[in-house]
Amino acid sequence: MAEFPQITDTTFEKEVLQSELPVLVDFWAPWCGPCKMVTPILEELAGEYGGRLKVAKLNVDDNPGTAAKYGIFSIPSILLFKEGQVATQIVGAVPKKHFVEKLDPLL
Amino acid sequence: MEKHDVIIVGGGPAGLTAGLYAARSRMDILLLEKLTPGGQVLTTAMVENYPGFEEAISGSDLVAKMEKQARGFGLQVEIKSVEKIAQEGSLKKMIADGEEYLSKAVIVATGVEPKLLGIPGEKELRGKGVSYCATCDGPFFRDKEVVVIGGGDSAVEEAIYLTRFAKRVRLIHRRDQLRAAKIVQERAFSNEKVEVVWDTVATRINGEQFVQSVDVKNVKTGREDNVETSGIFLYVGVKPNSDLFDFKIDADQRGFLRTDENMRTSVEGIYAVGDVRSKQLRQIVTATGEGATAAFAVQKYLEDLTP
Ligand SMILES: Cc1cc2nc3c(=O)[nH]c(=O)nc-3n(C[C@H](O)[C@H](O)[C@H](O)COP(=O)(O)OP(=O)(O)OC[C@H]3O[C@@H](n4cnc5c(N)ncnc54)[C@H](O)[C@@H]3O)c2cc1C
């Protein structure tokens, strides 16, 4: 199982906003069951889009600043950041197909 | 193309238990799950009515145990979303994420998903205060006002759960009594933070970037009102994930699959278990019982096929 890089309030600017590659950030928390549902899908995406996309996680419990900044009120929320901007957002546990449909045109 | 004796579609408690029993009888079996095994139980904070756990167990711990147990006996799981189930001669064919699977029998354990209320603002503000999962999103509403819509077990239980975080929880229900189990009702009525708003329906969710209020209407008096709130949790019923078949299969008028007592549907070789089945009580304990029943019935069916 791939270990995703963990983004924090401190590293967000550098790791996500200034990243060369687009970054898919999974806003999650340990108490959220459905967050576990998307992990295997993110692992597959990380493999399939390797080199074109970075996949990372942000624990909203430990990093409330970034979660609040992006108005996260529901998790899992998966946001695609391109050149420092939110390019698309997926809320809730949805099948892989939905991710691919949203990501393909943007990558 | 992969071929198995039995394919189970859906890895909630019903599918996992069918898998456990089928694996123990050494059937050639595969479980296809579109997300990760666990189903709705992953969205349940605490389960206190599954026998054997005298202290409430968290939903995700409970299904993790079920999954581990089934896998321990050899159940294989693939993360694939089944789009279609068709007949292929005497076999069944499943199309899942572009791949095809064949089997002699299929156990459909796809469960249900929450119904949308279908009012303006609901879709637009999803994830911005509109939620279908209190255990996921409750902590975002610390010291805020929230509204729960519904009157069944899930609605009332989740309303009580939300009092851990929210300042006040208004439970808006369209009738003048709740459908939830009596013990759950009693807890809601004695909880100072829960306020039940009877005979009332929500008509519109308002907010620019985030939920700010909900318009409501009393169905008896016709009086309209606006309730300020930061969060709206919707538990207004469920719909079956039964829209998969390329052939006719017997279902009730809401789309739940009809079966006999051995979980056989109207189509030979297709079994249905758990919440997707037409029945009265949709719970983990019934789902697991049905999973076991179907696995046993499938075993008999396969034995009769190969004399
Ligand atoms: C908030 C809430 C609280 C609850 N509390 C309790 C409680 O305290 N006690 C209790 O006993 N019950 C409770 N329940 C009910 C209980 O969760 C269900 O009865 C039970 O999960 C039904 O199990 P199932 O396996 O039939 O379906 P589900 O749990 O719905 O699982 C179905 C699985 O099938 C998968 N699936 C669906 N379609 C496809 C497809 N096309 N391809 C592949 N996979 C697919 C889904 O991803 C899911 O994993 C609660 C439910 C909710 C929503």
pLDDT in tens, B189-222: 999 999 999 999 999 999 999 999 999 999 999 9
Whether residue B253 sits in one domain with residue B213: no
Smallest CA–CA distance, residue A40 to chain B, in Å, is 7
Q: Which of A88, A21, A90 is nearest to A51 (CA)?
A: A21
Provide, rounded to the nearest whole percent, the portion of chain B with pLDDT above 90. 95
Atom of ligand 1 minimally distant from the CA of B50: 11
Would you say residue A18 lies in a domain? no
| Domain CATH number, residue A81 | 3.40.30.10
Around ligand 1, the residues with Cβ closer than 6 Å are B 9-15, 32-35, 38-41, 43-44, 47, 49-50, 81-82, 109-112, 154, 157-158, 241, 244, 274-275, 282-285, 287
Q: A64-75: per-residue pLDDT in tens?
A: 999 999 999 999
On whether both B218 and B120 belong to a single domain, the answer is yes
Measure the CA–CA gap between B41 and B288, rounded to whole angstroms.
Answer: 12
Is residue B91 over pLDDT 50?
yes
Whether B227 and B262 share a structural domain: no
Query: Which domain-ending residue is among B234, B257, B289?
Result: B234
Helices B182-190/B153-162 angle, 10° precision: 30
pLDDT for B306 equals: 74
Q: How many residues does chain B have?
A: 307
Instruction: Give the whole-angstrom CA distance, residue A47 versus residue B83.
Output: 23
Give the ligand 1 atom nearest the CA of B112.
30
Chain A touched by B121 (CB under 8 Å): no
Same domain, B106 and B249: yes
Provide the strand spans (E) within B136-179. Answer: 145-149, 168-172
The one catalytic residue among B28, B133, B199, B215: B133
Which amino acid does the sequence have at B97? Answer: D
Average pLDDT over residues B116-138: 94
Q: For residue B67, what is the domain's CATH number?
A: 3.50.50.60
Q: Record the tokens describing residue A106, joined without a space.
A: 């943007």
Rounded to the nearest 5 percent, the helix, strand and coil shares of chain A are 35, 25, 40
Q: Which atom of ligand 1 is nearest to the CA of B35?
A: 47
Q: Where are the alpha helices (DSSP H) in B73-202?
A: 134-137, 153-162, 182-190
CA distance A34 to chain B (A): 6
Q: How far is A14 from chain B (nearest CA, A)?
A: 26
Q: Are residues B139 and B275 in the same domain?
A: no
Which pLDDT value is given to residue B144?
96
In a domain, A7, yes or no: no
Query: Which residues span the domain enclosing A42?
Result: 30-93
Residue B77 has pLDDT above 50, yes or no: yes
| Overall size of chain A counted in residues | 107
Q: Whole-angstrom Cα distance, residue B69 to residue B13?
A: 12
Read off the pLDDT of each residue in B143-147 and give the average, rounded to a whole number. Answer: 97
Question: What digits encode the pLDDT tens for the residues B164-193?
Answer: 999 999 999 999 999 999 999 999 999 999
Residue ranges making up the domain that contains B214: 116-234
Give the other-Cβ count within 10 Å of A71's Cβ: 15
Establish if A20 belongs to a structural domain. Answer: no
> Residue A100 to residues A16, A44, A48, B26, B234: CA-CA distances in angstroms?
20, 11, 10, 36, 28
Residue B212 phi/psi, 5-degree rounding, is: -120, -35
pLDDT tens digits for A36-76? 889 889 999 999 998 999 999 999 999 999 999 999 999 99
Q: Residue B60's closest chain A neighbor by CA?
A: A33
- To the nearest whole number, what is the mean pLDDT of chain B? 96
Please indicate whether residue B299 or residue B45 has the higher confidence score (pLDDT).
B299
B7 alpha carbon to ligand 1 midpoint, in Å? 18
Query: Which B residues 38-67 touch A at CB under 8 Å?
Result: 38, 41-44, 59-60
Distance A20 CA to ligand 1 centre (A): 40
Angle, CA B153 vertex, CA B151 and CA B155 arms, to 5°: 50
Contact check, Cβ <8 Å, B210/A96: no
Sequence-separated contacts (24+) of A45-48 with Cβ below 8 Å = A45/A96, A45/A99, A45/A100, A45/A103, A46/A2, A46/A4, A47/A2
How far is CA B149 from each of CA B82, B154, B191, rounded to the nearest angstrom? 31, 10, 17
Q: In terms of domains, do B105 and B203 share one? A: no
In a domain, A80, yes or no: yes
- The predicted pLDDT at position A2 comes to 56
- Residue type at B116 in one-letter notation: L
What pLDDT, in 10s, does the model give residues B13-55? 999 999 999 999 999 999 999 998 999 999 888 899 999 999 9
Identify whether residues B6 and B81 lie together within a single domain.
yes
Confidence of residue B307 (pLDDT cuts 50, 70, 90): low
Q: Are residues B7 and B21 in the same domain?
A: yes
Amino acid at B8: I
Q: Which residue of B has its CA nearest to A60?
A: B140
Taking the C-alpha atoms of residue B162 and residue B145, their distance in angstroms, rounded to an integer, is: 10
- Residue A49 falls inside a structural domain: yes
Residue A107 covered by a domain: no
Atom index in ligand 1 nearest the CA of residue B10 equals: 34
In a domain, A56, yes or no: yes
User: Does one domain contain both B257 and B151?
Assistant: no
The per-residue pLDDT for B38 is 93
Helix (H) or strand (E) holding B65: helix B59-72
Examine the pLDDT at A1 and tell me if it is beyond 50.
no
B124 and B267 together in one domain: no
Q: How many domains does chain A have?
A: 1
Q: Report CA B16 to chain centroid distance, whole Å.
A: 14
B277 with B211, same domain: the answer is no
CA angle B112, B175, B206 (to 5 degrees): 75
B8 with B82, same domain: the answer is yes
Nearest CA to ligand 1 atom 34: B10
| Residue pLDDT, tens place only, A13-34 | 999 999 999 999 999 999 898 8
Residue A85, Cβ neighbours under 10 Å: how many?
8
Domain-terminating residue out of B206, B234, B262: B234
Interface test mutation site (partner A, options B31, B32, B35, B284, max chain A beta carbons within 10 A) = B35
Number of domains in chain B: 2
A72 and B CB contact within 8 Å: yes
B177: contact with A, CB 8 A cutoff: no
